[in-house]
Structure 1
Amino acid sequence: MQAMQYEITLPADYDMAVIRARVATKGHMLDDFPGLGVKAYLMRERGVDGSPVNQYAPFYLWHTPQGMNSFLWGAGFQGIVADFGRPVVQHWTGVAYEEGVAGAGPARAAVRRRTPIAAGTHLPDLVAESVRETAQLATRDGLLYAAAAVDPRTWELLSFSVWDHAEPKEPGDLYQVLHLSQPERDALTRGRQW
């Protein structure tokens, strides 16, 4: 599993209805995309739920690297580039994935937490703890799914979770979920990823 996200930060006075309309008309286009586990179409609005910015920031869990590459080098990502310029694409190597108790429910919110990994940290212990935390998170009411991943270039730990209610009590950046494309979500390997 590979996690991927790009963030498009928009002007403070940007009409976020434009993003909502974009997702409403184009979001379904990845509903059957090969290799895609799940894409959460995420948005933050300046001044809403503590967000300092207007931002469109889709988050992906890829079932196959071929799917991710097909998206990045194909028409889907080129539409983003044409409309907003080419954003930095962040990606992380998956270490854990779990389905939550609200698995098939409607997605309302997502939380992303990024934590720098200190140089002296024992990586096997950190990753094992992240796997346990992801499994524990999966037992929480309202959770659809959760994932953990690491960026070994910058040594950053990522925790990502999607919820069926608008105000999950998890630390991190809170996003509104506008749509989920989940063609191969059921194929994502549960538990630890090695």
Structure 2
Amino acid sequence: MHAMQYEITLPADYDMGIIRNRVATKGHLLDSFPGLGIKAYLIRERGEYSQVNQYAPFYLWATPEGMNSFLWGPGFQGIVQDFGRPEVQHWTGLAYAEGPASAVLPRTATLHRAAVAPVDAVEAALEESRKLARTPGAVATALAIDPRHWELLHFTLWEQEAPEASGARYEVLHLSAPERDRLGEGRQW
């Protein structure tokens, strides 16, 4: 599993209805994309939980070929054409788990990043990921790491409003999950 995200920060007065319409009309195009486990079409609107307007899709790839096909294909080129080439962040998957609300379409997501300190921090993060997966309302959760910067990432999809948690909060506009079953439950090594 590979995790990937790009964040497009928009002006404070940007009409987020434009992004909502973009997702409503184009989101389904990845509903059967080969190699894609999950794409969560995420936004943050300036206000209670965010200081910025942002379109920030998050991906869990079942195969690296799928990720590469997307990055060099027409889907991502549409983003580049409309917004410029964003920095694409990516992480190696450590764990994935379905939650008690896995059959429900998520409405919110949380993303928490933390620096990796000692080696046992990964074991503690795995335990935290298992705990998140058991939380009522959790749809799915993933734990990934950027070994270049030694940054851990917890990504969780929620049935409704996310419980009090640290990290960025997002609204989920659409979920494409053609190969979600190929993400593999549990630890990834």
SS of equivalent to 1:166 = coil
Q: For 1:98-177, list aligned pairs within 5 A.
A: 98-118=97-117, 121-122=118-119, 125-177=120-172
In 1, distance between residues paired with 2:95 and 2:173? 24
TM-score (normalised: structure 2): 0.98
Q: CA deviation at 1:166?
A: 2.2
* 1:63 partnered with 2:62: yes
CA RMSD of aligned residues (A): 0.9
Q: Which residue identity lines up with residue 62 of structure 1 in the other structure?
A: W
| Structure 2: gaps spanning 5 or more residues | none
CA contact (8 A) 2:109 2:162 kept: no
Q: CA deviation at 1:167?
A: 3.6
Q: CA deviation at 1:181?
A: 0.1
Q: Deviations over 1:2-52 (max 9, x none)?
A: 0000000000000000000000000000000000000000000011x3200
In 1, distance between residues paired with 2:101 and 2:25? 26
1:40 aligned residue: 40
Runs of 4+ in 1 over 3 A off after TM superposition: none
| Structure 1: gaps spanning 5 or more residues | none
Determine what percentage of the aligned residue pairs are the same residue. Answer: 64
SS of equivalent to 1:132 = helix
SS of equivalent to 1:50 = coil
CA contact (8 A) 1:5 1:91 kept: yes
In 2, distance between residues paired with 1:183 and 1:59? 14
CA contact (8 A) 1:96 1:130 kept: no
Q: Deviations over 1:74-105 (max 9, x none)?
A: 01100000000000000000101000000011
In 2, distance between residues paired with 1:13 and 1:148? 34
1:182 aligned residue: 177
In 1, distance between residues paired with 2:49 and 2:67? 31
Q: CA deviation at 1:111?
A: 0.2
Number of corresponding residues? 189
> Is 155-164 or 126-135 further displaced after alignment?
126-135
